[in-house]
Structures are given as C-alpha cells and as structure tokens.
Structure 1
Amino acid sequence: MSTLSEQNRRQVGLQGEIAARQWLESLGYLFVAQNVYTRQGELDLVMREGETLVLVEVKFRRSLRFGQPLEAITPAKQRHLLQAAHYYLHKYPHPGPVRFDALGIQKQANGQLQFTHIKNAIQND
C-alpha cells in the first residue's frame, strides 16, 4: 500500500508533467505519449518537434528546499533514462532524429511556474 507521501509525490509529479505538456504544446510540440514505463525506468513525456522525436524528463519543484529541479537528474538517473529510451525506440522505431530533453519546473512564491528547458540534455556517449 502506498504511503501518503508516496501518493503526494506522484500527484506532484503528475501536475508537473501536465504543466510541461501544456507548455511544450504551446511552443508547437505534438504529444505522443506520457508515463511510458519500462523495466529500466519511466519516460515522462514523448513529444514531437517537427520530425524529431523528443523524450522529455520532467522535474517539478514546489520549493528549492531539495535544490533546483534539474539537479535531480543524476548520472545514474540519466543511465536509466537512456536504457528506457533504447527500449522504447526498439518497441516503437522512429526513422527520424531523436533527442532527450530535460525540463525543470519551479513553482514561484506567487504561484507562477518558471520553466527551464534544456534541449539535448542527455546524450548517449
């Protein structure tokens, strides 16, 4: 059974993903999928920008108590995301370019959301 804090984290994460999707769509991105689960990890958002398939890791923070949102994407997290991406692309091949973006969302004191979008944030070296 999930604890209240686990449920709260999931709810906050979902709020962040919804805000991220809406923000990216306002920039012209097209929605493909959300919360793609694999054994290796979860892909928060799969979007398209033109012919490019964009895998997006979303980090949302209501405060800076635990640091900036994007600081949570550690090297270990990046490895899991790349493994999840390989699985996804094996299952759903994409003939065009693919990139992995990071999107940090910080809720400001006034309730406004501040977005930090890094294109090609995670690369397979």
Structure 2
Amino acid sequence: MTDSSRRERGRTQEERARRYLEGQGLHLRERNFLARGGELDLIMDHGDTLVFVEVRFRADARHGGALASIGRGKQQRIIRAALAYLQQRRLDRPCRFDVVALDDDNLEWIRDAFQAD
C-alpha cells in the first residue's frame, strides 16, 4: 500500500469516526492538529468538556487490533500535543482522551481511554 492510499484510508476512517461522534452529541472543533512530536486526529466539544480523539484503524487484527496499537509512548505523544493545543488556544477547561477503534466493519468508542499523569 502506498503512502497516499494509506493517508486516504486514514482520512476516510477519521471521517467515519467524526460522523459517529457527532451523532452521539459531540461537535467538531478541529482536526489533524500538529504539534512537535504528535498529532491530534479530532478535537471535539462534548458539553463543557474538550475531547481529544485518537482514531485507530486496523484492517487486520492479527497484531492485536486497533486498541492494541495505542501503547504508552503513543499516549504520551497525544498528551504532549494536547497540552500544546491548550496552551496555543489559551484554554482552561475539563478535557479527556477518547479513542475510536475501527476494525473492518466494527467501531468502538472508548471514552476516557487514558489519563494524563
């Protein structure tokens, strides 16, 4: 698979996750925020809470599926990117880290999937 087809698949899965979350009452604030060392796939509002959403897709679950691909290192990169986002936007509000895991036809939304230490 080429890099461009991989990026297109990623965009398609992020869009699928966004539509699902908006159907659950979240509102898109921003997507694909880049910070040194990390990227935030979706940033959404859920009531008063700012939600940083990591979208993970695995077409093949032989290597543990989408959820297994979010190790401690990946979590730390997401947390650092979220801190950069909050600082740049001068925001001080409740936050959480959610994961939308996509495997083939399945979508699983894990609220509060991990915590910043």
User: TM-score, normalised to structure 2's length?
Assistant: 0.92
Q: Residue 87 of structure 1: CA displacement?
A: 0.4
Q: Is the 8 A contact 2:99 2:113 kept in 1?
A: yes
Residues 66/15 of structure 1: CA separation in 2 closer, same or farther (3 Å cut) = farther
Q: Is the 8 A contact 1:33 1:47 kept in 2?
A: yes
> 1:43-101: CA deviations, max 9, x gaps?
00000110100000000122324431111111111111111111001011333211111
Q: Residue 50 of structure 2 aligns with which residue?
A: 53
Q: Is the 8 A contact 2:86 2:92 kept in 1?
A: no
Instruction: Structure 2: state its 5+ residue gaps.
Output: none
- What do you get for the CA RMSD once the two structures are aligned? 1.3
Q: Is the 8 A contact 2:38 2:80 kept in 1?
A: yes
Q: 2:84 & 2:72 partners in 1: Cα distance?
A: 19
- How many residue pairs align between the two structures? 117
Question: Which structure is higher in helix share?
Answer: 2
Q: 1:93 & 1:123 partners in 2: Cα distance?
A: 21
Q: 1:36 & 1:69 partners in 2: Cα distance?
A: 21
Percent identity at matched positions? 38
- 5 Å-filtered alignment, 1:68-87, equals 68-87=65-84
Q: Residue 120 of structure 1 aligns with which residue?
A: 112
User: TM-score, normalised to structure 1's length?
Assistant: 0.87
Instruction: Structure 1: state its 5+ residue gaps.
Output: 108-112
